[in-house]
Structure 1
Amino acid sequence: MVAVLSIFGVSHVALLSVYANDRLGDIRWFAWIVAATGLGALAGALVTGTRRSSMRGAAFRMGVYGALLAGFALTDEPWLAMAAQVLIGYFYFAVMTELQTLLQELVDEPLRGRVMSLFQVAWAGLIPFGSLGMGAAAAAFGVTKTLVCAGGVCAAYGFAMALRPPR
């Protein structure tokens, strides 16, 4: 789940300047969109810390994240784009915080450091590769199609994981 979010999800940030210029018509919206993402991320991290974590909940939130990303790609209204990015930031950090919490709760203490290091590689280590892929896809197909497809991958994976029977 973390790898899919890193490659197809958060890598969308690499395209935000192009999105602001092409879809919103002014590169100056880039800073506002990034700020909106940060505001949502802060809220997502804080709210998630107050509730019980579950894999099914994290998967569902990943699906919502993907759907929001796809919807964000289709708007050319700056204020709607900013509102979508607040929610995208919220759901991204809610999922990541929840997954980190679950890992730390479920993994035995002697293995926790090793498992968390693999988590960090899947999270931060794959973002540059996702950004490269997103940039290449945007150059070939356009920023809108790339973001819609990336959001679709995250939504499909997240909702499929949420509907999967528990083990």
Structure 2
Amino acid sequence: MVLLPAFRSRNYRLFFTGQGISLIGSWMTQLATVWLVYSLTDSPLMLGVVAFTSQIPSFFLSPFGGVFADRFSRHKTLIGTQVLAMLQSLALAALALTGAIQIWQIIALSLVQGFINAFDAPARQAFVPELIEKREDLANAIAVNSTMFNGARLIGPAIGGLILARVGAGYCFLIDGVSYIAVIIGLLAMRIQEKRIPKSDVSPIQRIKEGFIYAFGFPPIRTILLHAAIISLFGIQYTVLVPIYAEKILGGGAETLGFLMAASGIGALAGGIYLATRKTVAGLGKVIVLAASILGLGLIAFSISRHLPLSLLTMLFVGLGTILQVASSNTVLQTIVDEDKRGRVMSLFTMSFLGMTPFGNLLGGALAERIGAPTTLVIDGIICIIASIFLAKQLPSLRRLVIPIYEKKGIIKTM
């Protein structure tokens, strides 16, 4: 049996297994949360508010999370964040199963999860290179990570929709809480050689400033971050509007919502498999351009659909475009960034993607309440396509700056 390059590393195999199980639970919780909020409030705006509170800490705290990831053990940081995330999910489960849950409690616990994610996401992304024994396997590991994430995105909502319809949201939260045990065991079983990090008198604020100057002073990194921010602000709004489609437009329920999210997961899984089987990081710039167009067209098609089979088909393309955008951008950044600034740059990527998502969710919920969900998604799709065209025009000049880095790292051969 031929293993994918990333699986040659024992630590990465442990990480993949634990994360794969835990992410299925996380996607179940995400589905159950949006459905529970909509059931309690019947308000698109409240869907946006809850999503906003769960992700806004990433916008403000991710730079500090990046500094933390560059200064302290990423391995120990992840163990801590996973334990805290498990306790948060179990608290949500306890409230839901006892029937005591209220919207303010969901908002408060979503905010707690956001604080955890602000430190977890930069550490997680910066930790992956430490798991890989051969540097040439890194691009494959990042692509396999995306495949894992979206495999869970397929399985989690599908199972979650069925559980939600039959026994309620509380059991989705409970399964999620228990699933964290798998990733914690995987992290504890790893053999990690902790890196000696030199002591520094530089303040965290100064280190954040250094990270900003480095990232935004190099056009390829700056462009990827800004493009990711635009796509996150507009292209990901569909995640809080899908419950409205499931119930109001398609006339379904929790199972319909699960099917729609699972369909986007299938498209994302296909994109992840494609990236995992690519031989090189070279050429991913074109993939990022194409991804934004696929996402935009998928959103427009989904917005005009009034039949479940067609809606499921369009969600395939929404998921495909989303994962190609996120994973390709992540891979390019991980490849071209300097090692000593990896945590800070990946925190900026977290800030650009996860950090902008809450503003997009709040904006999407507010617009949907005023002009309707279909019109909101048409606007989102058009903006994604415009962003794709703009990036395509910049690509040749950015490629000239990246090629020397690829040549230095042996990714492409010098003439």
- For the pair 1:108 / 2:338, whether they are aligned, the reply is yes
- For the pair 1:118 / 2:348, whether they are aligned, the reply is yes
State how far apart, in whole Å, the 2-side matches of 1:84 and 1:8 are: 17
Other-structure match for 1:35: 262
Q: Please list the CA deviations of residues 48-67 of structure 1 after superposition, one character each: whole Å capped at 9, or x if unmatched.
A: 12224422321122112111
Other-structure match for 2:313: 83
Q: Percent identity?
A: 32
State how far apart, in whole Å, the 1-side matches of 2:345 and 2:325 are: 17
| Match for residue 6 of structure 1 among 219, 228, 232 | 232
Over the aligned positions, Cα root-mean-square deviation in angstroms equals 1.5
Structure 1 residue 86: Cα displacement: 1.5
Determine if contact 1:49/1:97 at 8 Å carries over to the other structure.
no
Provide the aligned length of Structure 1 versus Structure 2. Answer: 167
Q: Please list the CA deviations of residues 56-90 of structure 1 after superposition, one character each: whole Å capped at 9, or x if unmatched.
A: 32112211211111111111010111111112111
- Give secondary structure in 2 for the equivalent of 1:125: coil
| Match for residue 67 of structure 1 among 272, 276, 297 | 297
Structure 1 residue 26: Cα displacement: 2.2
TM-score (norm 1): 0.93
**Which of the two has higher C-alpha Rg?**
2
Determine if contact 1:69/1:148 at 8 Å carries over to the other structure.
yes
Structure 1 residue 160: Cα displacement: 2.4
State how far apart, in whole Å, the 2-side matches of 1:152 and 1:23 are: 21
| CA gap 1:127/1:165 in 2 versus in 1, 3 angstroms | closer
Which structure exhibits the higher relative contact order, with contacts defined as CA atoms closer than 8 Å and separated by 6 or more residues?
1
TM-score (norm 2): 0.39
- Give secondary structure in 2 for the equivalent of 1:31: helix
Point out where structure 1 has 5 or more consecutive residues left out of the alignment: none
Other-structure match for 2:276: 49
Moved over 4 A (4+): none
State how far apart, in whole Å, the 1-side matches of 2:251 and 2:390 are: 36
| Match for residue 247 of structure 2 among 17, 21, 36 | 21
State how far apart, in whole Å, the 2-side matches of 1:108 and 1:100 are: 14
Q: Name the aligned partner's letter for residue 372 of structure 2.
A: G
Other-structure match for 2:360: 130
Point out where structure 2 has 5 or more consecutive residues left out of the alignment: 1-226, 398-415
Q: Name the aligned partner's letter for residue 6 of structure 1.
A: S
Structure 1 residue 141: Cα displacement: 0.4
Determine if contact 2:271/2:324 at 8 Å carries over to the other structure.
yes
